[in-house]
């Protein structure tokens, strides 16, 4: 089962991003592709090979690893009965750094990068490094560059924070998910039987080879997939395909993908969540990262200045002021095709969730719990339709808002809260 996305350019040349929220493959999964030859190396691989498989920040010291929340380094099992050694055979030996945390397994071929120039991005990165230094004392206070191992540790810290954020939203802890079996809703990882997965590829070709060989899909940029045998959710990202993305934008993109996977994986993936709700929640968390790149498709019929694409509060306010300028909730509630959602649909989905989160985040958590509690094993399309209707009922039940009142109070909130320009 898969969800996909790619970097696109419209006829106007505006850059946009797409990370789809519809599952395309049949429930039995795609057919396996034939084995591929190992990826040939080039200068981009030299840096990964030069830093070597031994983490310089722990040196493999078990006590340091435990303090930092590191469970293991590769090789280790991955998904559907194959492991990191099998991926190495396809992508090339010693080209991937592997790290396992409490809730995730992560592989990375991301190369090093320099400090961002913008003040807000530099400040955010410095704060992340200071947090990391509390666990890994060998991390320099102000490293000259963010090397591949340090970058991997930052991403491990980031996605574990996503996991903690979603647990906090749901009002749950690990103790609420004792492992009971090997199927969805039976496992220790938000109900999943095994850990969530993240594969960070520097090259599009590496991601394409992984998706082809292990998922039976043709994709080279930003794909989310559910490995059906072990019921594990993987988010794959290829930095090369995300034109104009610095590490801050990649950070936001990974948060967006991770929140999607955690929401879908929570209590087992059996049907799709309402689009407005799932997209809005993923954007709500990802927009906490000080990125200037939105995770959204800008359609050719949407005129949005490139330097204003991330100004969602302003864009939403301008549309919410006018009748016919915004999407009524009765319409949003029935959205079921990600490909039809454009820039303003994503921005307003974020804003609807922002309104609900600011009013009472605990109730948003209850909504997610209830939406993911429909009986397992039914018809996925029928259950997705049921979930869409249930979301409308839950807004009424939890917030006292029918569709008309939701529109009215949301518009009042937007006009009072968001800036004019």
Question: Confidence band (pLDDT; 50, 70, 90) for 378?
Answer: confident
Q: Is residue 57 part of a domain?
A: yes
Q: Is residue 283 part of a domain?
A: no
Q: Is residue 277 part of a domain?
A: no
Asked whether the predicted pLDDT for residue 307 surpasses 90, the reply is no
Token pair, residue 237, equals: 């990202």
Confidence (pLDDT) at 9: 26
- Report field, pTM of the whole predicted structure over 0.85: yes
Q: Which range, of 85-89, 301-305, 317-321, 389-393, averages the lowest pLDDT?
A: 301-305
Residue that has been written with the tokens 């006590």 in this structure: 63
* Same domain? 322 vs 381: yes
Domain boundary at 211, 243, 269, which?
A: 269
Residues 311 and 309: their CA atoms lie apart, in Å, by 6
Share of the chain above pLDDT 90, in %: 81
pLDDT in tens, 189-248: 999 999 999 999 999 999 999 999 999 999 988 999 999 999 999 999 999 989 889 999
**Angstrom distances, CA of residue 172 to CA of 164, 166, 211, 365:** 9, 9, 33, 10
Q: Is residue 281 part of a domain?
A: no
Domain boundary at 269, 289, 317, which?
A: 269
Confidence (pLDDT) at 41: 52
Whether the CB-CB separation of 391 and 371 falls below 8 Å is answered with: yes
Confidence (pLDDT) at 45: 73
Residue that has been written with the tokens 């407005």 in this structure: 276
* Same domain? 179 vs 316: no
Residues 84 and 36: their CA atoms lie apart, in Å, by 15
Whether the CB-CB separation of 421 and 313 falls below 8 Å is answered with: no
Whether the CB-CB separation of 227 and 80 falls below 8 Å is answered with: yes
Confidence (pLDDT) at 43: 63
Confidence (pLDDT) at 181: 84
Share of the chain above pLDDT 70, in %: 90
Give the total number of structural domains in the chain: 2
* Same domain? 197 vs 340: no
* Same domain? 180 vs 311: no
Residues 133 and 155: their CA atoms lie apart, in Å, by 14
Confidence (pLDDT) at 200: 98
Whether the CB-CB separation of 116 and 246 falls below 8 Å is answered with: yes
* Same domain? 89 vs 200: yes
Question: Confidence band (pLDDT; 50, 70, 90) for 18?
Answer: very low
Residues 314 and 410: their CA atoms lie apart, in Å, by 15
Confidence (pLDDT) at 163: 98
Whether the CB-CB separation of 18 and 297 falls below 8 Å is answered with: yes
Asked whether the predicted pLDDT for residue 263 surpasses 50, the reply is yes
3-state secondary structure 316-339: HHHHHCCCCCCCCHHHHCCCCCHH
Confidence (pLDDT) at 312: 97
Question: Confidence band (pLDDT; 50, 70, 90) for 304?
Answer: confident
* Same domain? 143 vs 222: yes
Q: Is residue 54 part of a domain?
A: yes
Confidence (pLDDT) at 299: 87
Q: Is residue 324 part of a domain?
A: yes
Question: Confidence band (pLDDT; 50, 70, 90) for 376?
Answer: confident
* Same domain? 119 vs 248: yes
pLDDT in tens, 74-125: 999 999 999 999 999 999 999 999 999 999 999 999 999 999 999 999 999 9
294-316: average pLDDT: 90
Per the structure, the complete domain to which residue 158 belongs is given by: 2-269
* Same domain? 189 vs 316: no
342-358: average pLDDT: 97
Whether the CB-CB separation of 6 and 221 falls below 8 Å is answered with: yes
Residue from 129, 173, 119 nearest 154 by CA: 129
Provide CB contacts within 8 A for 9, sequence distance 6+. Answer: 15, 16
Residues 377 and 379: their CA atoms lie apart, in Å, by 7
Q: Is residue 278 part of a domain?
A: no
Whether the bond between 41 and the residue before it is cis, its omega within 30 degrees of 0, is: no
* Same domain? 204 vs 264: yes
Question: Confidence band (pLDDT; 50, 70, 90) for 351?
Answer: very high
Question: With the CA atoms of 384, 386, 387 and 391 taken in that order, what torsion angle do they form, in degrees rounded to the nearest 10?
Answer: 140
Provide CB contacts within 8 A for 248, sequence distance 6+. Answer: 116, 121, 124, 125, 289, 290, 291, 292
* Same domain? 363 vs 249: no
Whether the CB-CB separation of 397 and 307 falls below 8 Å is answered with: no
3-state SS assignment for residue 47: helix
* Same domain? 313 vs 243: no
Q: Tell me phi and psi for residue 240, to 5 degrees.
A: -60, -35
**Angstrom distances, CA of residue 272 to CA of 58, 83, 171, 323, 384:** 40, 28, 22, 30, 5
Confidence (pLDDT) at 44: 63
Asked whether the predicted pLDDT for residue 34 surpasses 80, the reply is no
Q: How far is C-alpha 200 from the chain's CA centre?
A: 12
The dihedral region occupied by 268, where left means phi > 0, alpha psi between -120 and 50, and beta the remainder, is left
Hey, which of 15-29, 112-126, 177-191 has the most confident mean pLDDT? 112-126
pLDDT top residue among 29 and 381: 381
* Same domain? 163 vs 45: yes
Residue from 210, 213, 195, 179 nearest 261 by CA: 195
Q: Is residue 276 part of a domain?
A: no
Whether the CB-CB separation of 158 and 286 falls below 8 Å is answered with: no
Question: Confidence band (pLDDT; 50, 70, 90) for 42?
Answer: low
């Amino acid at each position: 089962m898969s969800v996909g996305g790619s970097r696109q350019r419209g006829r106007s040349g505006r850059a946009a991003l797409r990370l789809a929220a519809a599952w395309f493959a049949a429930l039995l999964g795609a057919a396996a592709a034939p084995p591929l030859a190992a990826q040939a190396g080039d200068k981009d691989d030299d840096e990964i090979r030069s830093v070597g498989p031994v983490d310089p920040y722990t040196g493999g010291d078990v006590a340091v690893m435990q303090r930092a929340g590191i469970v293991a380094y590769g090789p280790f099992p991955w998904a559907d009965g194959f492991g990191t050694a099998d991926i190495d055979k396809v992508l090339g030996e010693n080209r991937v750094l592997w790290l396992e945390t409490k809730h995730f397994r992560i592989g990375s071929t991301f190369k090093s990068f320099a400090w961002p120039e913008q003040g807000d991005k530099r400040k955010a990165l410095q704060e992340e490094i200071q947090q990391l230094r509390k666990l890994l004392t060998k991390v320099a206070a102000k490293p000259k560059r963010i090397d591949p191992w340090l970058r991997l540790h930052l991403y491990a810290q980031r996605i574990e924070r996503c996991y903690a954020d979603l647990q906090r939203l749901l009002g749950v802890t690990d103790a609420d998910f004792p492992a009971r079996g090997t199927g969805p809703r039976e496992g220790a990882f938000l109900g999943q039987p095994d850990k969530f997965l993240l594969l960070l590829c520097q090259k599009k070709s590496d991601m394409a080879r992984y998706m082809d060989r292990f998922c039976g899909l043709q994709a080279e940029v930003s794909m989310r997939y559910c490995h059906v045998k072990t019921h594990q959710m993987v988010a794959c990202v290829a930095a090369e395909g995300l034109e104009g993305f610095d590490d801050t934008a990649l950070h936001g993109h990974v948060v967006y993908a991770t929140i999607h996977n955690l929401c879908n994986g929570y209590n087992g993936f059996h049907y799709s969540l309402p689009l407005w709700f799932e997209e809005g929640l993923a954007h709500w968390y990802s927009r906490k990262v000080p990125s200037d790149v939105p995770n959204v498709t800008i359609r050719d019929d949407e005129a949005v200045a490139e330097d204003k694409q991330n100004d969602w509060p302003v864009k939403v306010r301008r549309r919410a002021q006018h009748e016919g300028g915004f999407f009524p909730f009765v319409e949003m509630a029935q959205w079921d095709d990600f490909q039809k959602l454009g820039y303003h649909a994503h921005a307003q989905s974020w804003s609807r969730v922002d309104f609900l989160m600011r009013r009472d985040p605990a109730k948003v958590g209850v909504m997610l719990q209830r939406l993911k509690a429909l009986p397992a094993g039914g018809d996925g399309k029928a259950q997705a339709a049921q979930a869409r209707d249930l979301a409308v009922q839950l807004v009424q039940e939890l917030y006292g808002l029918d569709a008309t009142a939701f529109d009215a109070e949301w518009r009042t909130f937007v006009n009072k809260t968001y800036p004019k320009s």
